[in-house]
Structures are given as structure tokens and as C-alpha cells.
Structure 1
Amino acid sequence: MFKNKEEFKTEFTKRIIEGYGRPLKEAHITEKFMVLEKLIRDQAAINWALTKEEVQDSQQKQMTYFSMEFLIGRLLVNNMMNLGVYDIVKEGLADLDINIHELEELESDPGLGNGGLGRLAACFMDSLASLSMPGHGNTLRYQYGLFKQKIVDGYQTEIPDQWMSIGNMWEIRKPKHAVDVRFWGKVIWDDSTGRFKHVDAECIRAVPYDMPIIGNETTVTNTLRLWDAEVSTNIPTNKDFRQYSQEVNEICQNLYPDDSTLAGRTLRLKQQYFFVSAGLQALIKSHLRTYKTLDNFHEKNVIQLNDTHPVLAIPELMRLLIDEHDYDWEDAWDIVSHTMAYTNHTILSEALEKWPIDTMRALLPRVYMMIEEINRRFIGYVKEHVSNPDEVFNHVLIIKDGQVHMAHLAIVGSFSVNGVARLHTDILIHQEMKAFAELYPTKFNNKTNGITHRRWLAYANPQLKELLHDTIGDHWIKEPDELEKLMAYVDDPDIQKRFMQVKRDRKRILARYIQKNNGILVNVDSIFDIQVKRLHAYKRQLLNVLHIIYLYQEMKRNPEFRIYPRTFIFGAKAAPAYFFAKKVIKLINSVADVVNSDPETSDYLKVVFLENYGVTLAEMIMPAADVSEQISTAGKEASGTGNMKFMMNGALTLGTLDGANVEIHERVGDDYCEIFGLTAKEVDSLRQSGQYNAWDYYNNNIKLKFVVDSLVDGSWSASREEFRIIFEELMNYNDEYFLLADFDSYIKAQQDVEKRYLDKSAWAKMCLINIAKSGFFSSDRTIKQYADEIWHIQPVKK
């Protein structure tokens, strides 16, 4: 590691010459950027190699996190900070007349994820390394990621996210660890071996690209492995090579291909099996290099399945053990069922994956045979353990109604099943997965999500970090529970005043971005009310918009109606085929066009939609928020992590008692968050009773009626049909997510927020208390719980 800026300058200048054959002064800015990234990666490589050697020599148990997504965000600053060289590099570059911030801005957000699922995985990777735990990631090397969002005339349009346009200098290609993954074909019985054999298969080469996961103030460096698809040497003889090449390229082209067609669904299943099979083959090879037997595979490896996408790991590991390593069923099942652990992230039925039998059997014939046998033996287990198996089967069968139920397979094949917030886990145990919880009472447990406080507070908000350092020291970066020490200062007028200045500084940074990118001038002294997350009906961005419409209508109808200036900020991507969600984006932008250009209201009310919401943009947004909108229908959000990021940066949570909001509320109390709306039990009771009627709310609340009618009366579009689908969802499809039921409660909560904000001292105290109580929501705490209670892994022995 370079020890000072002089050593850095020498090495940096030397690499420019070696890499591009030109002196530093003639190097292009992209060349400087790529050299810097590779230099930092190489600085980490020594610790990376030593970590692998230490784990192997001490024969430690390791965890591998199988996930379709790792939304890691930009890595340059994060890695330099974790290595402790950021200031050295910054000063060295300045001496060379290079602005480090100009280089930072060239880095793209890696297109390896979409939303909370992927960001959680990234936070977990950071915490594992920073806690010196041997834990690695396994996923696909997406060429384009999900999509880059552009807003054109208020509509979301999708263009390719070319995140690797100038390369990814963090990764190292490892062709010697490549493996073949097989699709299609058929399964025959081989008399000579007494085994089933998969023949006429289409082989695709899986090549790993490894990225270092650098811990904070530790030499431990873990690995994020990305699998890329390449043409195999075992090219199918019955396949047109051009068609084969196209099918190979499709596997890693995009995250979550459109599943509205059979071809799209098949490609998704291909992706899932591809990275699962490749990852398992690599783990087995690595294990055998050290131990020479797989008998202890489950004692030295644990695999965490992040949602249902990687659940094919269960039958695939069975296939590998039985077909390629000569295990009998019982011994193989003992290894598999003690290796796999499953995290459930949703109770939404549409998100609990189910695959048609015909599709799976054709694409993965031998794997499907394994699933059939797992299901057959599970049926026998149920018959042995319950008195009413026929009633139970309807809730637990793996293969049912012509489909393979992946969540059911995950529960049967894992030794641990966890939810991601206490309320979510309770719903799993007592409602959605009740039959399974009664069959396997010791499997279910809760692990409330967390976020890495280093990225989301220390690095994203240096102004607040400085305030905390001056107040409580810097030990909280290593021990986030130390944030609790801030409680001793929440009533201090000087600290309150300084915090409000920090917040204003952060709002000014976001306001400049909004003016540059949206052409909207916003008041930095207004309340920044922010909702940023994936666009989905249950997250209820629409409820937020309905409230904005209510405010606008009241201001227009009643000249005496005034509000404290508010800036409502949205950021969200909608799935390309999710028509309703895309209409909500259009509605937000249409309302913004009217509200922002109205001279009677624009001084008090602004609406902003920030396009292409992602990690880097979130790092600017979170520190600037006054109000954190967490308004999902109670019982629908598994946890949420945006709520934690806002809280950690000193914002008021305005939300329902859903997901981790419940635990935020418990920690700060009624006085320091704003809770509204139906509870999960009330929602469930309304739904079960069948007595909910959206028209009753509409007909009995004149202000609500005006708001809803505006969707189809031409208020926001020249065409009265533009937002008809939204009106229909609310009224004629009976408001599935209870927006109308919570409308009045939400308005009152917003009025209470305004009253709170007018008392600046009380507001500052509230924000400081939220920061002080946010240490619990660090992913360091979550990872310690996983390590102690599920994975049983220890810090790397040095």
C-alpha cells in the first residue's frame, strides 16, 4: 500500500505511461480514471490473496450469498475510504492538477441490481468484510443491467444501461475457473454406471469475473463473483451456431427480461439456473481442493438464498452430489438441507415465483426430476406428521396446479427460513406460511434488515459525519450503536442549530441538481418531502400524489388556505411491462407541470420527479430529506431499507405501521415519527370481511371525490382517458391497497408534519433523536445476527 501522496503520485504517473504510452499531461481523463480504479484494486489485491489463504489454511466455514442482484453503487470512493487512502489520493491528484471529483463522476453505477433486494445484498457484502467475516457473493455479470430511465413528455421510457461502456476495472476474469452449464436435452438411464445421464444437452460456458469486497479498517477482502456466459467448446451438433451464439449472449444481457412471453420466462429461468449451477460447481471444486471429500461440505459452507430466484440451488446441488459425486439420496439430502438457508422478501403472491412444469421439465430435465423426488418424499413426510394431510397439501405442495412453487421448495430444502422485519416474519409464521411453520417450527426466524452506515452516513453525508465526530467522536463508524451517545446532545441549542445548517447545506446540493437536471427552482427552506423507491401499487406513490392534488385544489378553491412551502420529490422506476405503474409516473409529472407553473401556488408547492433513480442519486437524496415517505399498505412491505437511510440522515418517518417502520416507531416513539393509517390486522380484517367499498369513501367525502374526479375530468391532461386506468383501479376494482381508507388519516398526518416543522428547535431535536436511534438499523447488526444464529461463521483468523 502506498504510504503517502508522494508514493501514490509516483505509482500513478508510472501506470499512466505503462498503460497508455503517453505522459500524464497528455492522458485523457478516462485514462486517468481507469488507471486510478485499477491502482486501487491492485492495492486491495494483496489483502484479497491473504484472506483466501488464511481462510483455506484455517479451514474456516464460509458463507456464499446467492442473489440475482447486487446493487453495489459506485465503488471508487467507498473502496478508497475503506482502505483509508482517500485523503492521500485526493491530495496526490491535486498536486498533479487533477480534481478527484471529476474522476469520481466518470464512474457508472454497476447495473447489477434494481431495488431494495439488490441494495440489501450490497450492504451485507460491505458489513461482512468490515466485520472480517468470510462471506462472498454469487450472481450474474449483466451487460446492461435493468434499464436507464428517461422521462419523455412525462412518460417513462427505457434505454439500455451501458454501465460498462468504458469497462469495469474492479473485476478480474478467471477463465481457469470456468464451468459448463447444461440446458435442454433429455435424461436416460445408463446401465453401465447404474445412473441417470443427461444427454443431447446444450452446454454454455460460465466464466467468472471476481470483484474484491473491501472491508473498513480490516485486511479482510472478500469476493463478489459475477458469472458471464460464453460459447462452450461442447457446441451442440444439432444447433445453428448463430442461433446458439445469440442464446448464449442473451443470458447475461439484461437483469429481469420481460416475462410476458414464453421466451422471456424461459430466459429468466435460464438465468437463474445458470448462475446457481456455476456457483455450486465452483464451490464444490474449491471445497475438494482443501478437503478431498464432500461429506463435510455443509460443515464448511453455508449458502444464503436471497429470495426465490436462486432456489434452484437446492435441486441442483442434489443433482451434482448424486450424478457427479456418487452420493445416495439420503446422504445428499442431509448435506443439501444443512447447507441451504432461505430469506423470504415478500408475501405478495405475484412475487412468490412459480414456474410451469412444462417449461422447467424441458429446459432442465434432470433438475426437474430432482424436484419431483423432493416433492414425493415431502408428501410422505407430511402424511407422517399431520393428521389432516389432504387439507395441508393445498398450502405446502411443491408441485401443484401444473407449477413448481419455488418458495415451498426453498422452505423444504433449507435449514433456516427468515423474514426481514419482525412484522413480516410474524405474517409469514401466522398467516402466509402457517402450515409450513407448524411442520417446521424451528426453521423460522427473523432478521430485521439493515444498511451499511459507512456508505449511507459516513461517506454520503460528510457534513453530518463532521458534526457527529465533533460531538461524539468517530468510534460509531466501527460500532454503530455508539450513535446512541448523541442522545446527550439532542437538547443542546448549538447542536440543533448546527444540524439544521447541515441539513440546509444538503438540501442546497440537491436543489442545484434539480435545477440543473429538471429546470425547476426549488426553495431550500421549504419542507423536502421525499418518496424514492420502486414504483408499485402497494408502495402507494399514488396516495402521495392524491394528497398533492388535494393541496392544490384547496389552494385554488380557497384563497385563504395556505401551507408552509413544500417540495415533493419522487424517484422511481416502473417495470417496463407494468402499465399501471408507468401511468402513475405520468400522473406525477403531469401534476408537476400544472402545479409548478401556476403563479398562484408555485411559491408554496413544487413537485419534482427525478429520473433514473439509483444508488448514486440516492446518496444525494437521503441526506437532503426532511420527511421520509414510507406509506405502503400495512402488511405489504416486507421491511424496506430506504426508511433506515432517511432516518440515519435525520429525517422524520411519515409512514404506516408496515415493515421496519414498526421497529423504527418502537425505537423513537410517537413523538419522533408520524404514523398514520390502518394497521396490518385492520387491513387483513377488512379484506377478509369483504365489506370494504371504495365508493362509500368516495361518496361520503367531498374533498376526496374532487381529488379522484380530477383523474378523469381533464385537470391533468387534455385527454380525459389518460388516467382512466388509475380511476378504474381505485373505484371499479375497489381500491386493492386501501388508499381511500387511509386518505383522511394521511392528510391529518401531513398537517401534523407541518406543525412540527414550524418549531425548529423541536424539529431539530426530533431529527437528532432519529439519528441517535438509527444504529440498530446498521447491517453490521444484521450480519452479526445471521453469523451467530444461522451461518455459524467466525471472523477470519489472522
Structure 2
Amino acid sequence: MPQLFESKDSFKESFKNAVSDACGRDFEDTYPEERYIVLGNMIRDFAGEHWRETKNAIKKSEAKQLYYFSMEFLMGRLMTSNLMNLNIYDVVKDGLKDLGMDINDMENIESDAGLGNGGLGRLAACFMDSLASLDLPGHGNCIRYRYGLFKQKIENNQQVELPDCWLKNGNVWEVWKPQHAVKVEFGGYVDGYMDGYGKFHAQHHPDFVVRAVPYDEPIVGYHTTTTNTLRLWDAEVDEDSVNSGTLNEYLNKVTAITANVYPDDSTIEGKRLRLTQEYFFVCAGIDQIIRSHLRVYPSLDNLGDKVAIQLNDTHPVLVIPELMRVLLDDYFYDWDDAWSIVTKTVAYTNHTVMAEALEKWSQDMVRSLLPRLYMIIEEINRRFKYDVDHRGLCGIFNNVSILKEGQVHMANLAVVGSHSVNGVAKLHSEILVNDVFKDFVTIYPNKFNNKTNGITHRRWLLFSNPQLTELLEETIGDEFKTNPEKLEDLMAYVEDESLQNKFMNVKLERKKILAAYVKETLGIEVDVNSIFDCQAKRLHAYKRQLLNIFHVMYLYLRMKQDPSFRIYPRTFFYSAKAAASYDLAKEIIKLINMVANVVNNNPEISKYMKVVFIPNYSVSIAEILLNAADVSEQISTAGKEASGTGNMKYMMNGAITLGTLDGANVEIVERVGYENAEIFGLRVEDINELRHENSYNAWNLYNSSYNIRMVVDSLKNCVWSNDPNEFKLINNDLMMRNDEFFVLADFDAYCYAQEKVQARYMDKNRWAKTMLINIAKSGYFSSDRTISEYAKEIWDLKPLSFED
């Protein structure tokens, strides 16, 4: 350990001197932001020693490495987690305190890195943490977006999108690596020639070239030397390619590539920009892998033995044709040899069964933007058809073709070009095999597998809930910190009333922290003794925030009608962003906020319930919200949520799952038992039957159920707004489009499940026992388990060893 972190006193002296030297002023005259930057640099430099040792260990042992390609990495704030992982948190915390500083104030200066939107990025961040903490050499590959998705404000009850300038103060964790810049080529045309052996040599003549410049961040393992790399690519001008006559147009095109995550794709230009982004970071990432490999090995023949590439959803699937292009055009491999290397190297994780989320690009667009890759995709598809036909399966080819109906089907390309295809929860993987990819299973019966998602307990328990961590350590020791499945040891104590009371006090403390945040930021006072009922996740119709708020509306309307009907006090928390162009989702946010206004301002009913919408959902907000929850709302339409990881974070902090049998909820219930969760609603098979028979009719439910009719009618009869057309999109989605996600079908069952939740809560000891059981059974859902399965069963990745 560096001397400066060996003791509190040595840290204080080094820190004060470093701040004064960097700022050119006495320490007392410097600003908190300046001190934060210096502290971050000191931490990164310490991590840099481990970073160097990790690279040397990889080189010396010739270890196989993983490269994880993802459009998102939502890492959250890194200062405190890095200090904890480096095992210097207490030294720094105590040293700062002596200097009159609070370590939490230091962390609050840091912005959440705007590198994503939702669960995909939070999962990738958990995986990076687990890889390093398990001593596995695995690195992330993404875009260095200058702006995050957007910063959400609520004005006049509606979502307003503002720029998320997360880089405005720089990023203290990154290291600029201009020496590793890569040229990325777009557009133009391809020609070539046949050599004397009948081999075609392609030559691409691009009309648009940019430089991809990497910025590297250390990913620090927990109490271990292993420090991996998250490489983020920024787009810069390629001076050799600038035509002075079109300079402004060129600069705008370059800037747009890394401006923000998921640009609006409702236009042709937006779609083209998204495809440009995807190829940009894929091309740069593959170039990095090839160059790194050839610094150690004489050829690429053994690439599949030394490199594993994991595609996190369909966004990076261009890895497959791009790696083929490099092998064919730059290193002159024959097709079969190149294809063998690609398919041995690449694996694909599917994250959705939603047809609209399985990416498809216009063939004309791909041909225009990526002419050489399009030629390769055509050849992959031709050879794939030949293979399918010769297996006697020609009748299914149209279902599995990569090119059809004028589109390039990226999920199909991913399946064909990968040696492994996995889902992210048991139910999700079953749906992939039995429905989404069932024809592929006929062709590749051994290619499909399941890897149930997980979360890093280091961030979502040790870091974000120190009060619960301390109680667990007192009760079962500290082994769970490095082996989360040791949380199971808590089962021996769940009947202990003393522990139950201590746990409820911890939960109350976390609820007070959330209540203080809500009071400070929103001016809303909430009852910390009420049931905290939370749904925090991306806003989408299938996640059914609408079902949740309909229940709130039902309670309000019933209490208004019947003064004798009252509930146990409850606070309903929501936090969600809606895509800027997703009008229905934005209207649901507006409904939640308008219902909140009515409920919270009713002097009688607000004694029994409050509604709180926390804007700008992020990792940092989740760290405050999830561990305060009593009830975890996981109510997606059965068969639509691939896995979910929020359900696991709530579970690990003791919240009880109120949910459908969807995604990882199924496996949560398998572990805790139905008596320790509250499951309701239609199953996948029920929904499939309704769809198959075309027998679902929202109007029949509306006409036959007084409660449903009361809630739906309230959208139009000026209960929540003076404008009867305020919620026209919602009404039309339910009644004119026949309630695609079965909100009305599950409404009565959901309300009954909520009644049972309230009844359970009345018995506080039973409730505490149930929460403790959820914590005890949550260790399985650590991303350490998930990553260990990937490493063993897909990547063949081994832990690093470090010589003294």
C-alpha cells in the first residue's frame, strides 16, 4: 500500500500538500470541487498500481481475457466504492473528518456517469465489479457519451428533458489514451480484385472517416489486486479526411456520434446515427483487441483461445461481421478459417422478447453506411441458408434468415455468429427456446443456455446500506462480504425476535434517510411509519406503472365514496424516465404526478396515503430508495420482463416482492417460498392462451367490473385534471387498443394482493421474519454467481494469480 494511505496522519499530510500544490493556494483557501479532483486523482493513482500489476499478470500468464461490449455502463458514483474496494475507506474518511470535511460531501460532488438508460447498463456495471472482485480478466467496451440520456425535471406534472452534462467538470477516473486511437470508416463504396488463387481482395473507399480515441477507467476489485479496464471511445476529427468545403457538416457528424446515448430514432437520420454509433464502438473495440493480441502472439489463429467477446444485447452485434472483415481483408484468412475464429470467440446475451426491441436495420441503410460489412452479412446469410437447406430444414429458413423483408435482423445474426446464446432468467430462457428462437433451436440445439442475472452486493448492500451490513456482520460474521451466498446463514436467526426488532430499526433508519431526501428535494413530508411501496425502473407500458397508479386511484376514489373505508398508512414511491419520444409513457408520468397532487393535497386522505414521484432516476437515487422499501413492485406483464435486477436489489435489502410470475421473480419465489412474497395475476400460459384464442376483451372487463369502470372513467371525468382529454392516450391504449399489456385483466387480482400485503404488515414480527428470509436467500442473486457461471460455462476464463 502506498505510504500516503497507510495511516490517517500520512493521508492528511499528503492530501493537504497535494491540494495546495495543484491549486497554488493554501489548503484552507481551496474549494470542495478542487479537493474532490485531487482526492480522485490520488485514489486513481493508487488503483493505477494495481492496474499495472494486473496487466503484467495477464501478460506473464498469457491469460485469456474477456471483452464485454455494451452500449451502456451505469457505474454510478465511484469514489466511495473505489475507497471501499481498495480497503482505504476508513483512513480517508477519518482523515477528511480531521480536516473538517465529510466524505459524503466529497462523493456528492461527483456526477453519475451518463453512460446508459436502464437495466442493461446497471447489469453491465455489476458484471464489471464482479469480474474484478473474482480476479477474472474482463474489460468493458462502450462509448464515452458527452451527455447522458437526459436530466429529467417535472414541470406542470410533465416530464421535461434537459441535457445531462455529466462531463462538465471532467471525469477524474479516466485516463486519455490518444496513442491507441483508431480510424473508423463509413459510407463510400467497395471494389476489389481477384488474386491468382481466385481469392477476392476487397478495398473500401469510405466517404466519412473519424478517429475513435479511448479513455480508460480502472475497475477496482474488492480487496484484491485485480483491476480491469472500462474503455470508453470518444469521436474526434480525422484531419486527413476533412474537406474544407464541408468542414462544418463534417464536424457536426463527428460530434453527433458520441453526443448522447440512444438518440431519437423516430426519423431516418436518427436511425442512421444509432447505427453509426454501434459500428463506431464495435470497430474501435475490435481493433483494440486485435492489436493487443498481436503484441503477444504471432498470429490470430489462437484468438478464440485467448479472447472471449460477450455481446450485451443486439447493439454490438456488428462485432461478428466486423471481426470477419478484419480477418478476411486485413489478415487474409480464408472464409471458413475466419468464421471458425469468430464463432469460437463471440457469445451473445439476449435481454428481451419484445419484438420491437430485437433490432432490425434497413438493408439499404446498412449497405449505404457500411458497404463492406453488408457484403459480409450477405455472405454469412447465403452460407447459413446453404447449411439449413442441407440439413433438410429449408422450410424454416424464412423464419431464421438474417436478411428478410428489406431488413437486417440483428438478433438472428447474433445467434448465427455466436457459439453461445443465453437468456437472463430461467423463464426468459424458456421463452427464447420455445418461442422467440425456437427454429434456431432446431438448427443449433446445444447453443442455448440460461444465466440468471445478478447484482453486485458490494454496491447494493455493503456500500449503499451500511446499517444493514453492520447488523448482518454482528449476526453471521463477515464472510458474506466476499461470499454472498453465506447470507444463507441468516436463516438460523430469522425467528429471533431481538434480531427482528433490530432489523426493523435499521429499516426505519433507512426510511428516515429517504424521507429526509424527499423533504429536501421535493418539499413533501412522508410518514416513516407508513408502508413504503416502491416502483423504480424505466417507464414502459409492459412494466405497468399504470396498474400501480390505478390501484392508488382506486383507493382514493373508494375513500372519497366511503368514509368508513380506510387503509393502513402507505407511501407510494415512483421513479422512472420515459424515452423522449414515447408519448404514452410520458402521459403515465403525468398521470402519476397529477394523482399525487390530488391525493397529497386532500387533508383527510393524505393522512392515509401519499404519492411521491422522484425525478431523474439514477444509480445514486436507487441507492437511497431501494433499501428503504417495504414492498418491491415487480408487476410487469408475465412473459415480457427478461429478468430484472431491481427485484434482486430490493430483495437483498429486505423488501418483499409484490409481483407477477415474470422474469427473475419466478426464481426469487422459488427460493423464498410463496409465503414470503405476494404473487398475483395472469401467468405466461394464461396470456398465451388469450392471445392464441383472440378472446381477451377489455370492454367486457370494463362493463362487468364496477371498480375498473370507476378508475377508467375517472381519467375523463375531471377527478385528476380539469381537462377530460388530458389522459386520452392512456384511455385509448386500454380501450381502443384492447389493453395490450393486460392492465385491466390483472387489476382485481392486484388490488387483492395489495390487501394481503397490508394484512401481512399488521403482524410486524412476521413481516420482519419475511424480510429477513428474503435477505438470507438473496445471495444466489449476486452477480458473483452469475459471472462465475459465465466464466466456467461460456468464456473458459480463469482467475489471475499474483506473485509476491
Superposition TM-score tier, normalisation by shorter sequence: over 0.9
- Provide, for residues 73-93 of structure 1, a one-character-per-residue CA deviation record: whole Å limited to 9, x for no partner: 000000000001011001111
Letter in 1 for 2:457: H
Superposition pairs of residues 80-229 of structure 1, within 5 angstroms? 80-190=83-193, 195-229=201-235
CA separation in 2, counterparts of 1:460 and 1:239?
Answer: 54
Give the alignment partner of residue 260 of structure 1, picking from 250, 259, 266: 266
Q: Look up the SS of the partner of 1:742 in the other structure.
A: helix
Q: Look up the SS of the partner of 1:240 in the other structure.
A: helix
Letter in 2 for 1:282: Q
Give the alignment partner of residue 653 of structure 1, picking from 648, 657, 673: 657
CA separation in 2, counterparts of 1:556 and 1:194?
Answer: 77
Superposition pairs of residues 384-395 of structure 1, within 5 angstroms? 384-387=390-393, 389-390=394-395, 392-395=396-399
Query: Which residue matches 1:18?
Result: 21
Query: Which residue matches 2:465?
Result: 461
Give the alignment partner of residue 238 of structure 2, picking from 210, 221, 232: 232
8 Å Cα contact 1:83-1:217 kept in structure 2? yes
Q: State yes or no: 1:751 paired with 2:755.
A: yes
Segment of structure 1 superposing worse, 580-589 or 2-11: 2-11
Give the alignment partner of residue 646 of structure 2, picking from 634, 642, 649: 642
8 Å Cα contact 1:183-1:364 kept in structure 2? yes
CA separation in 1, counterparts of 2:439 and 2:728?
Answer: 41
Segment of structure 1 superposing worse, 774-783 or 679-688: 679-688
Letter in 2 for 1:488: A
Q: State yes or no: 1:674 paired with 2:678.
A: yes
CA separation in 2, counterparts of 1:226 and 1:18?
Answer: 30
Letter in 2 for 1:563: I
Deviation at 1:194, TM superposition (A): 5.0
Q: Look up the SS of the partner of 1:657 in the other structure.
A: coil
- Provide, for residues 130-158 of structure 1, a one-character-per-residue CA deviation record: whole Å limited to 9, x for no partner: 00000000000000011000000110010
CA separation in 1, counterparts of 2:414 and 2:281?
Answer: 17
8 Å Cα contact 1:201-1:236 kept in structure 2? no
| TM-score normalised according to structure 1 size | 0.99
Q: Look up the SS of the partner of 1:653 in the other structure.
A: strand
Deviation at 1:191, TM superposition (A): 5.7
CA separation in 1, counterparts of 2:419 and 2:317?
Answer: 13
Q: Look up the SS of the partner of 2:230 in the other structure.
A: strand
Superposition pairs of residues 500-511 of structure 1, within 5 angstroms? 500-511=504-515
CA separation in 1, counterparts of 2:449 and 2:378?
Answer: 27
Query: Which residue matches 2:250?
Result: 244
Deviation at 1:14, TM superposition (A): 2.1
CA separation in 2, counterparts of 1:574 and 1:237?
Answer: 39
Query: Which residue matches 1:295?
Result: 301
Letter in 2 for 1:5: K
Q: Look up the SS of the partner of 2:241 in the other structure.
A: coil
Deviation at 1:340, TM superposition (A): 0.5
Letter in 2 for 1:349: A
Letter in 1 for 2:532: F
Query: Which residue matches 1:620?
Result: 624
Query: Which residue matches 2:545?
Result: 541
Query: Which residue matches 2:66?
Result: 63
Q: Look up the SS of the partner of 1:628 in the other structure.
A: strand
Give the alignment partner of residue 424 of structure 1, picking from 428, 431, 448: 428
Query: Which residue matches 2:791?
Result: 787
Letter in 1 for 2:82: N
Q: Look up the SS of the partner of 1:105 in the other structure.
A: helix
Deviation at 1:600, TM superposition (A): 2.0
Q: Look up the SS of the partner of 1:65 in the other structure.
A: strand
Q: State yes or no: 1:695 paired with 2:673.
A: no
Deviation at 1:783, TM superposition (A): 0.3
Query: Which residue matches 2:555?
Result: 551
The structure-2 alpha-carbon separation of the partners of 1:763 and 1:200, relative to structure 1 and needing over 3 Å to count, comes to: closer
CA separation in 2, counterparts of 1:88 and 1:109?
Answer: 24
The structure-2 alpha-carbon separation of the partners of 1:256 and 1:796, relative to structure 1 and needing over 3 Å to count, comes to: same
The structure-2 alpha-carbon separation of the partners of 1:194 and 1:404, relative to structure 1 and needing over 3 Å to count, comes to: closer
Query: Which residue matches 1:472?
Result: 476
Q: Look up the SS of the partner of 2:352 in the other structure.
A: coil
The structure-2 alpha-carbon separation of the partners of 1:131 and 1:253, relative to structure 1 and needing over 3 Å to count, comes to: same
Q: Look up the SS of the partner of 1:198 in the other structure.
A: strand
8 Å Cα contact 2:461-2:652 kept in structure 1? yes
Give the alignment partner of residue 610 of structure 1, picking from 607, 614, 619: 614
Give the alignment partner of residue 318 of structure 2, picking from 312, 323, 339: 312
8 Å Cα contact 1:322-1:332 kept in structure 2? yes
Query: Which residue matches 1:48?
Result: 51
CA separation in 2, counterparts of 1:56 and 1:442?
Answer: 33
Segment of structure 1 superposing worse, 215-224 or 194-203: 194-203
Q: State yes or no: 1:408 paired with 2:379.
A: no
Query: Which residue matches 1:663?
Result: 667
Structure 2: which 5+ residue stretches go unaligned? none
CA separation in 2, counterparts of 1:386 and 1:217?
Answer: 55
Query: Which residue matches 1:272?
Result: 278
Query: Which residue matches 2:725?
Result: 721
Deviation at 1:97, TM superposition (A): 1.8
CA separation in 1, counterparts of 2:739 and 2:107?
Answer: 45
8 Å Cα contact 1:570-1:608 kept in structure 2? yes
Letter in 2 for 1:738: F
Give the alignment partner of residue 32 of structure 2, picking from 24, 29, 34: 29
Q: Look up the SS of the partner of 1:205 in the other structure.
A: strand
Deviation at 1:236, TM superposition (A): 4.4
Deviation at 1:618, TM superposition (A): 0.2
In the alignment of these two chains, the number of paired residues is 796
Q: State yes or no: 1:711 paired with 2:715.
A: yes
- Provide, for residues 98-146 of structure 1, a one-character-per-residue CA deviation record: whole Å limited to 9, x for no partner: 2222111101000011100000000000000000000000000000011
Deviation at 1:13, TM superposition (A): 1.7
Deviation at 1:292, TM superposition (A): 1.7
CA separation in 2, counterparts of 1:24 and 1:166?
Answer: 20
Structure 1: which 5+ residue stretches go unaligned? none
Q: Look up the SS of the partner of 1:182 in the other structure.
A: strand
Deviation at 1:200, TM superposition (A): 3.7
Deviation at 1:515, TM superposition (A): 1.1
CA separation in 2, counterparts of 1:332 and 1:191?
Answer: 18
8 Å Cα contact 2:682-2:746 kept in structure 1? yes
Q: Look up the SS of the partner of 1:336 in the other structure.
A: helix
CA separation in 1, counterparts of 2:406 and 2:359?
Answer: 13
Identity of aligned residues (%): 58
Letter in 1 for 2:601: S
CA separation in 1, counterparts of 2:649 and 2:564?
Answer: 37
CA separation in 2, counterparts of 1:463 and 1:626?
Answer: 16
CA separation in 1, counterparts of 2:161 and 2:392?
Answer: 50
CA separation in 2, counterparts of 1:329 and 1:176?
Answer: 32
Query: Which residue matches 1:371?
Result: 377
Letter in 2 for 1:627: V
8 Å Cα contact 2:186-2:206 kept in structure 1? no
Q: Look up the SS of the partner of 1:338 in the other structure.
A: helix
Letter in 2 for 1:558: D
Q: State yes or no: 1:355 paired with 2:377.
A: no
Deviation at 1:394, TM superposition (A): 2.5
Letter in 1 for 2:491: M
CA separation in 2, counterparts of 1:238 and 1:430?
Answer: 56
Letter in 2 for 1:794: K
CA separation in 2, counterparts of 1:328 and 1:191?
Answer: 13
- Provide, for residues 591-639 of structure 1, a one-character-per-residue CA deviation record: whole Å limited to 9, x for no partner: 0000110112010011000000010000000110000000000000000
- Provide, for residues 482-519 of structure 1, a one-character-per-residue CA deviation record: whole Å limited to 9, x for no partner: 00010111010110000000001100110111111111
Q: Look up the SS of the partner of 1:705 in the other structure.
A: helix
Query: Which residue matches 2:531?
Result: 527
CA separation in 2, counterparts of 1:532 and 1:92?
Answer: 36
